[in-house]
Structure 1
Amino acid sequence: MSIEDLLEKGVQAQDQGDLIAAENFFQQALKTEKTAEIWSLLAEVQIESGTYAKAHKSLAAGLLLEADNVDLLFILGDLYLEEGKFDQAIASYQQIIDLNPQDADARVSKAVAQLNNDDLSAAEETCRQALDVDPELAFAHNALGDIYIAQDKVAAGMKCFHQALKLDPSDPQPYLSLAELYYDDDQLELAEEYCQKGLELDASLAPGYLTLGYLCLDQDRTQEAIDNFQQFLRLETSATAKHIRDEVAAVIDGLK
């Protein structure tokens, strides 16, 4: 089987959720030829399967071949972000910006890492730099909305989320962010509408089920609340989410 066939089968297996088969196909391809592209494909599968240590080794191998490979640096930054290693994530995204100052996506990703690192002023500045590069980047407007919310500027945050949806109606994240804001404002019907819209676009987004769980709980729809909370626990595996996972598990126990 040629490398092209192995890569095609690996991508198909990954798309179908068969991560073990996908990893095997990419490993076979590496036995024939070691390239940064194949290492990046392998790393993405390993991250998806939760084997972060293996993913780090794959990324290191790829970067050894191409130290300036933007795809690998992005994956590495995202992996650090997932692990809660925000300083390392910022450094990875900064490498991309150093290579290409016009890379707005890297600036937004850096801003997200800075936000998670509780450096709100730096996050806002970095996000505005991204918007200077690309004023119509929905990703940047959504991130700026998150930054505003962290600063308790709810109206400004809501405006950013609506702008993100205007620019990219296919992005589920602003729907879920708005659902949380409407929930906090006790607009439960509107909150549920936006939450459902977000999950229709991407049913794998754990925060949507968390919001739906509390929406159902507030409306005495106990079994629906439990079902949504359990779905949240199935999907939310991030190391940084342990505290909220424990809280949700306790809520489920209390409802049963």
Structure 2
Amino acid sequence: MTYDKDWKLIDMQAAAMLDCGKWQEAVRLYRQALAAAGPVADLYAGLGEAYAEGGRIEDAMAAYQEALALDPENADGLFALGDLYFELGQEQQALAWYEKLLSRSDESAEALTRIGLVYAARQDFERALQYMKQARQADPASAFAAAGLGELYVSLGQPDKALPLFEEALRLDPDDPHILLNLADLRYDLGDSGGAEKLYRRALEIEEDIPELHLALGNLMLDQDQTRQALGHYRRFLELEKAPQSGNLRKEVAALAEGLEEELAQTSQKSGKKPRK
């Protein structure tokens, strides 16, 4: 395939590849754009996102650092580095990057929410709640802040407070698959498996490559004795999940998937049907 030599068009093509989950092609295109344009902060930020999508965390961090060296106020780079450190369990480094954004009124609600999530991960729920409430005050129309506070209330075992926050977040941003996933998880936990499945399916239509979504659907399908469908979602989870700290979970899901494959093979042999992959 031939790409336009104009680096801005190459940048658009790279972003399109990333949206399709083709992170390796996106990396190639971002590098092509950088070769044509020279150092551009947004291109390095895009390259970092592509590497992160592929699980190449060190390369992603290096690309984001390049973006910030060129533009120290680049919000995408600041948030992304904080998120990567958070995913790696390096919470103090994550806080340092998020705190750089607190002085910016246009980013403060998101930064406060992320800081709250870090403290929640540390089990410091009092400080987490403080930051989450500040985020809501900073931007009452932020779906991210509403959903973040909802997640905190779930962690605190207060689903009655979490549910209206997730519903509000969904009203503010009806097409956010992560909000749909959070609300579906809560409805599932509250015993509304039918409502949960509708929300999971809606999220899947919006964004197919969220590993947690496939894990949730796999569990739901297994509850309904739809073994083959459950296996498909577990396999997709294993394809997508690349976070370094998810090793134990991957092992559990892989063992479960292997057991389901054996179960399906035995059932097929008894019925005389050939097993399908």
Which blocks of at least 5 consecutive residues in structure 2 are unaligned?
A: 263-277
1:174 aligns with 179
- For residues 8-27 of structure 1, the aligned pairs below 5 Å read 8-27=12-31
Q: 1:33 to 1:127 in 2, by over 3 A?
A: same
In the TM superposition, residue 185 of structure 1 has moved relative to its aligned partner by 2.9
Q: What is the DSSP-based 3-state SS (H/G/I as helix, E as strand, rest coil) of the residue aligned with 1:97?
A: coil
Q: What is the DSSP-based 3-state SS (H/G/I as helix, E as strand, rest coil) of the residue aligned with 1:169?
A: coil
Match of 2:66 among 50, 61, 66: 61
Within 2, Cα distance between the matches of 1:163 and 1:30?
41
1:250 aligns with 255
1:117 aligns with 122
Within 2, Cα distance between the matches of 1:216 and 1:58?
39
Kindly report the root-mean-square deviation, in angstroms, between the aligned alpha carbons of the 2 structures: 2.1
Within 1, Cα distance between the matches of 2:146 and 2:81?
23
Q: 1:147 to 1:16 in 2, by over 3 A?
A: closer
* Corresponding residue pairs, total: 256
Match of 1:94 among 90, 95, 99: 99
The aligned amino acid for 1:11 is A
The aligned amino acid for 2:27 is E
Q: Is the 8 A contact 1:179 1:211 kept in 2?
A: no
In the TM superposition, residue 100 of structure 1 has moved relative to its aligned partner by 4.4
Q: What is the DSSP-based 3-state SS (H/G/I as helix, E as strand, rest coil) of the residue aligned with 2:103?
A: helix
In the TM superposition, residue 138 of structure 1 has moved relative to its aligned partner by 1.0
Within 1, Cα distance between the matches of 2:162 and 2:215?
20
Match of 1:190 among 189, 195, 219: 195
CA displacement, residues 78-105 of structure 1 (integer Å, 9 cap, x when unaligned): 2222323222112111111135486212
In the TM superposition, residue 143 of structure 1 has moved relative to its aligned partner by 0.7
Q: 1:11 to 1:119 in 2, by over 3 A?
A: same
Within 2, Cα distance between the matches of 1:102 and 1:11?
23
Q: 1:156 to 1:227 in 2, by over 3 A?
A: same
Which blocks of at least 5 consecutive residues in structure 1 are unaligned?
A: none
In the TM superposition, residue 134 of structure 1 has moved relative to its aligned partner by 0.7
Match of 2:213 among 196, 208, 216: 208
Within 2, Cα distance between the matches of 1:5 and 1:175?
33
Match of 1:78 among 83, 88, 95: 83
The aligned amino acid for 2:134 is Q
Within 1, Cα distance between the matches of 2:179 and 2:19?
24
Within 2, Cα distance between the matches of 1:102 and 1:177?
22
Within 1, Cα distance between the matches of 2:16 and 2:106?
34
Q: Is the 8 A contact 2:21 2:209 kept in 1?
A: no
Within 2, Cα distance between the matches of 1:59 and 1:113?
20
The aligned amino acid for 1:185 is L
The aligned amino acid for 1:212 is L
Question: What's the TM-score, normalizing by structure 2?
Answer: 0.83
2:7 aligns with 3
Q: What is the DSSP-based 3-state SS (H/G/I as helix, E as strand, rest coil) of the residue aligned with 2:101?
A: helix
Structure 1 runs (4+) greater than 6 angstroms displaced:
none
Q: What is the DSSP-based 3-state SS (H/G/I as helix, E as strand, rest coil) of the residue aligned with 1:210?
A: helix
CA displacement, residues 156-193 of structure 1 (integer Å, 9 cap, x when unaligned): 11121111112222122232223222322333222222
Q: 1:222 to 1:23 in 2, by over 3 A?
A: closer
Q: 1:188 to 1:53 in 2, by over 3 A?
A: same
Percent of pairs with identical residues: 32
2:33 aligns with 29
Question: What's the TM-score, normalizing by structure 1?
Answer: 0.89
Match of 2:159 among 133, 149, 154: 154
Q: 1:11 to 1:165 in 2, by over 3 A?
A: closer
Q: 1:172 to 1:28 in 2, by over 3 A?
A: closer
1:135 aligns with 140
